[in-house]
Amino acid sequence: MIDEPLRIGVYVCHCGSNIASTIDVEALAKFAEDLPGVALSRHYKYMCSDPGQELVKRDIREFNLNRLVVAACSPNLHEATFRRAAEDAGLNRFLVQMANIREQVSWVTEDREEALRKAKAHLAAAVRRVARHESLQRQFVQIYPRVLVVGGGIAGIEAALTLAEAGREVILVEREPSIGGHMAMFDKTFPTLDCAACILTPKMTAVKLHPKIKLLTYSNVESVEGSVGHYRVKVRRKPRYIDESMCVGCMLCIDGCVFTKAKFPNPFDQGLGTRKPVWVPFPQAVPPVPVVDPEVCLQITRGKCKQGCVEACGERNAFRFDQQETIEEYQVGAIIVATGFKTFDPSVIPYYGYGKYPNVYTSLEVERLLNAGGPTAGKLVLRDGSTPKRVGIIHCVGNRDANYHPYCSRVCCMYSLKLAHLIREKTEAEVYSCYIDMRTPGKGFEEFYNRVQNEGVYFVRGKVADITPVASQGNGKGDGASASNALIMKVDDTLLGTIRNIEVDMVILAVALEPQADAADVRRAFGISCSSEGFFLEKHPKLAPVNTASDGVFLAGACQGAKDIPDTVAQADAAAAKALALIDAGQIELEPNTAWIDENMCSGCKTCIGLCPYKAISRDEERKIAVIDPALCKGCGTCVAACPSGAAKQHLFSDEQVHEELEGLMSYV
Amino acid sequence: MSESDFKPKVVAFLCNWCSYTASDLAGTARIKYSPHARIIRVMCSGRVDPTFVLKAFAMGADGVMIAGCHPGDCHYIEQNYKTMRRHEMLRYLLERMGVESDRLRLVWASAAEGQYLAEAIDSFVAAVQKLGPLNWSANWEENGQRAEALEEIVHEHAEAMEVLP
């Protein structure tokens, strides 16, 4: 507590014209002169500029100011700036208060008179409040130098490798049996037509071999506790029924399995391919360790099987049918969330006939068909095994549609062009690409569009309204080879100005990218917000694109919004760099606004204890009072609001400070 | 005084992580809304002490708004649920004291919902305009019934809280 009389310095910022054009800054500064405790009041063009800060520092020294109020932008932007300036001039950094007259007044108010009134109220509130501020010590906490990366797609792989190459320990958690994510499913990547596996698998192997990366596949993050610098993460590891450390990845067990035919749908192939009860998603899987499906394995379901797999494994003896789910706990200092996306399920759009007509496919299914490692070894075939002669591609399925997702998924036009190119390359088929707008903003994208146009793909500008089988048309127009299975795409060709009925054998739906089904659970576990479509929310759309509202939690890849591989990799490296900057700093400042107990006032009623979600409050049984552990307290202040005797208090948000703020808000205008 | 002439005083307690950030976003997007709402930042809507609300009314506020993160999205895990309960309690209390409980409103606005928050403030200010001025402090003096009602509530509360030995 400062005993000397109040000498508050008030500074009103013009912010160029951002504030000054709506608020009469001169009148506002004049108004502040008469507020209690104000020793000096100025207005200046840019308070955040160097001269602005110098002005503050000089005044603090020259006029012995002992409190500071800056009426400018949001404290989320420049509170730290003015706290530092105060500290530079020898004033405790917590004796500063900002009045938000830009985001909350000048930018949102039309009427100049009302804007001045509101600005006066906010400024008076800040002046009254700062009078009650106290000097506080800054608290720091050590950062545990290890990073958790959640999700083993290209984003997680890239972030993990960057961190590991910098010599930092990484825990990489992936829920599928192998890392690789969606990228591992693709055959080629646009616009360069790089083979996806050729560029991805070296990185996957590097993850496996890197001594700094601990790879936990077939695992989920169960819970996250703690906060920036010292998170405690519980990881649930599902049983593979195979000891990962014993398996050499020879895959002989798969041949040895008593099921001679692979008859269960392989989810990695979007159900188009099949697998046995012991399986790997794809040949280059990392780790190259099969998993046993407990739902269909005879040994596990019936406890009785000839165990051809175990026999094939032989001396390696890697099978463990008694393996149980385990929970492992790790301490980390920072977290990168890279949980990716899922594709839109088009069966909810009845007129596209997905799930009804067998030859209507999603783009991801066709990726698997075209992939040499896929269910047809790269041959584009229809359900009956024949090769399509005409293929229709429908853009924007589930996207740019008020009924489904209003946003654009950014990658669909390009992957549709890529699919069109691959189909032209591998088959003789005619390709009709029905688009609303062709969106190709990216390096080499427009050139790729031109190339595909020149390859003879037909582009139809219009939205497809209906898919029907040829038979139901009954107009004898069907001249396709497989007339019985052929489909008619009804499309409004906006360039020709006519409705066209285009007969095709195969329809490919370029489906939207959307948040994972469990995205809401994931973001809640990590304390991340989301935007309206459910993608994870970055701290600032322009200036903090990989940070989140939770310090120490960063975002990478399509979990933050639909994006292509280059953008994902760039964002993953940015997230890795941010995590690196954080853990290399070694320590981080704790929130100053923690709660504390006035021992003389606490009656030991325990009201506060149950309210704390961080278990920061305990009861000292000897003294019969509550005690708050400042290292665990996050500073929400809920206990303070609930304390019936007023013994629980909060730094920077005391009852007195808020009451003064209220008085200021209500009393002068 | 007609409804439109009446300029209500509304105090809005916004939580730092969601709704205050939403108000910043409304500003950045230059979304215009009623200037009659004055904003106080708290770290969490759970910090809003019932006395803050009563104090605001006593100081001359015609309406009080509390805004926090959406249920399930609280930056402090679950503290907005405590706000939800307190809000119910406060509405009951206000009603018993002869103050329209609609003068208190609880709003959830995420950090991405600048537009929504601006609309919520506008709609609340309009609702308060409809209710008219509260003039609580003035009423308080002349209307002894309210003080009696308050005493009664305090008495009930004390009885309910009494812990048997």
Could you say which of B27, B46, B78 has the minimum Cβ distance to residue A637? Answer: B46
A30: closest CA of chain B, how far (Å): 21
Domain that holds residue A418: 342-514
Residues A277 and A354 in one domain: no
Which residues of B fall within a CB distance of 8 Å from A108? 26-27, 30-33, 35, 118
Residues A399 and A485 in one domain: yes
Could you say which of B28, B47, B112 has the minimum Cβ distance to residue A653? Answer: B47
Q: Does the beta-carbon distance from A529 to B76 stay under 8 Å?
A: no
Residues A305 and A349 in one domain: no
Question: Looking at the domain assignment, is residue A108 inside a domain?
Answer: yes
Q: Does the beta-carbon distance from B9 to A666 stay under 8 Å?
A: yes
Which residues of B fall within a CB distance of 8 Å from A661? 40
Phi-psi region of A209 (alpha: psi -120 to 50; beta: other; left: phi over 0): alpha
Q: Does the beta-carbon distance from B60 to A653 stay under 8 Å?
A: no
Contact A506, A469 (CB under 8 A): no
pTM of the entire predicted model: 0.83
Could you say which of B32, B56, B113 has the minimum Cβ distance to residue A108? Answer: B32
| Side chain identity, residue A513 | L
The DSSP bridge partners found for residue B51 are: none
Distance CA A85, CA A96 (A): 10
Which residues of B fall within a CB distance of 8 Å from A114? 35-36
| pLDDT value, residue A3 | 67
Contact A104, B28 (CB under 8 A): no
Residues A443 and A296 in one domain: no
Could you say which of A121, A613, A666 has the minimum Cβ distance to residue B77? Answer: A613
Given A486, A514, A542, the domain boundary residue is: A514
With a cut of 50, list the residues of chain A below it in pLDDT. Answer: 1, 473-482
**CATH number of the structural domain spanning residue A19:** 3.40.50
Q: Does the beta-carbon distance from B76 to A661 stay under 8 Å?
A: no
Which residues of B fall within a CB distance of 8 Å from A74? 24, 27
Residue A350: asked if its preceding bond is cis (omega within 30°), the reply is no
Q: Does the beta-carbon distance from A107 to B118 stay under 8 Å?
A: no
Q: Does the beta-carbon distance from B32 to A109 stay under 8 Å?
A: yes
Could you say which of B27, B111, B112 has the minimum Cβ distance to residue A108? Answer: B27
Residues A419 and A477 in one domain: yes
Which residues of A fall within a CB distance of 8 Å from B75? 527, 549-550, 636
| Residue ranges of domains in chain B | 10-161
Query: If you search the block for the tokens 């698998």, which residue do you land on?
Result: A201
A468: closest CA of chain B, how far (Å): 41
Which residues of A fall within a CB distance of 8 Å from B41? 75, 100
Q: Which of A565, A544, A490 is nearest to A180 (CA)?
A: A565
**A residues 106-145 lying closer than 8 A (beta carbon) to B:** 107-111, 114-115, 117-118, 121-122, 125
Q: Tell me the two tokens of residue A231.
A: 């998170």
Number of domains making up chain A: 4
Q: Tell me the two tokens of residue A116.
A: 């001045």
Q: Which residue is closest to B31 within chain A, CA to CA?
A: A108
| pLDDT value, residue A589 | 86
Residues A354 and A262 in one domain: no
Which residues of A fall within a CB distance of 8 Å from B28? 103, 107
Q: Which residue is closest to B52 within chain A, CA to CA?
A: A659
A667 touches chain B (CB under 8 A): yes
**A residues 596-655 lying closer than 8 A (beta carbon) to B:** 611, 613-614, 634-638, 640-642, 650, 653, 655
Contact B71, B18 (CB under 8 A): no
Distance CA A28, CA A41 (A): 9
Could you say which of B21, B39, B61 has the minimum Cβ distance to residue A76? Answer: B21
Question: Looking at the domain assignment, is residue A151 inside a domain?
Answer: no
**A residues 83-112 lying closer than 8 A (beta carbon) to B:** 100, 102-105, 107-111
Q: Does the beta-carbon distance from B23 to A530 stay under 8 Å?
A: no
Could you say which of B35, B51, B76 has the minimum Cβ distance to residue A109? Answer: B35
Please write the tens of the pLDDT for every residue from A461-498: 999 999 999 875 444 444 444 456 899 999 999 999 99
Question: Looking at the domain assignment, is residue A623 inside a domain?
Answer: yes
Question: Looking at the domain assignment, is residue A324 inside a domain?
Answer: no
Q: Which residue is closest to B43 within chain A, CA to CA?
A: A636
Residues A496 and A352 in one domain: yes
Query: If you search the block for the tokens 């106080």, which residue do you land on?
Result: B40
Question: Looking at the domain assignment, is residue A455 inside a domain?
Answer: yes
Q: Which of B79, B81, B125 to mutate to test the interface with A (most CBs of A within 10 A)?
A: B79
A50: closest CA of chain B, how far (Å): 23
Could you say which of B28, B38, B42 has the minimum Cβ distance to residue A637? Answer: B42
Helix (H, G, I), strand (E, B) or coil at A41: strand
Q: Does the beta-carbon distance from B52 to A662 stay under 8 Å?
A: yes
Question: Looking at the domain assignment, is residue A371 inside a domain?
Answer: yes
Residues A368 and A493 in one domain: yes
Which residues of B fall within a CB distance of 8 Å from A614? 77
DSSP string, B31-94: ----TTEEEEEES-GGG--HHHHHHHHHTT-SEEEEEEPPTT--TTTTHHHHHHHHHHHHHHHH
Could you say which of A109, A527, A653 has the minimum Cβ distance to residue B43? Answer: A653
How many Cβ contacts (< 8 angstroms) between chains A and B?
144
Question: Looking at the domain assignment, is residue A327 inside a domain?
Answer: no
Residues A367 and A312 in one domain: no
Q: Which residue is closest to B9 within chain A, CA to CA?
A: A666
Q: Does the beta-carbon distance from A524 to B20 stay under 8 Å?
A: no
Helix (H, G, I), strand (E, B) or coil at A448: helix
Which residues of A fall within a CB distance of 8 Å from B110? 529-530, 537
| pLDDT value, residue B4 | 67
Q: Which of A580, A662, A511 is nearest to B12 (CA)?
A: A662
| Domain spanning B10-161, CATH architecture | 3-Layer(aba) Sandwich (3.40)
Q: Does the beta-carbon distance from B55 to A74 stay under 8 Å?
A: no
Which residues of B fall within a CB distance of 8 Å from A100? 24, 39, 41
Helix (H, G, I), strand (E, B) or coil at A346: helix
Could you say which of A549, A638, A655 has the minimum Cβ distance to residue B79? Answer: A638
A544 touches chain B (CB under 8 A): no
With a cut of 50, list the residues of chain B below it in pLDDT. Answer: 164-165
Q: Does the beta-carbon distance from A529 to B112 stay under 8 Å?
A: yes
Exposed, middle or buried by CB within 10 Å (0-12, 13-18, 19+), for A649? buried
**A residues 492-531 lying closer than 8 A (beta carbon) to B:** 520, 524, 527, 529-531
**CATH number of the structural domain spanning residue A640:** 3.30.70.20
Residues A495 and A617 in one domain: no
Distance CA A443, CA A12 (A): 46
A593: closest CA of chain B, how far (Å): 8
Question: Looking at the domain assignment, is residue A88 inside a domain?
Answer: yes
| pLDDT value, residue A613 | 87
Which residues of A fall within a CB distance of 8 Å from B111? 529, 537, 549
DSSP string, A49-87: SHHHHHHHHHHHHHTT--EEEEEES-HHHHHHHHHHHHH
| pLDDT value, residue A472 | 53
Distance CA B146, CA A487 (A): 76
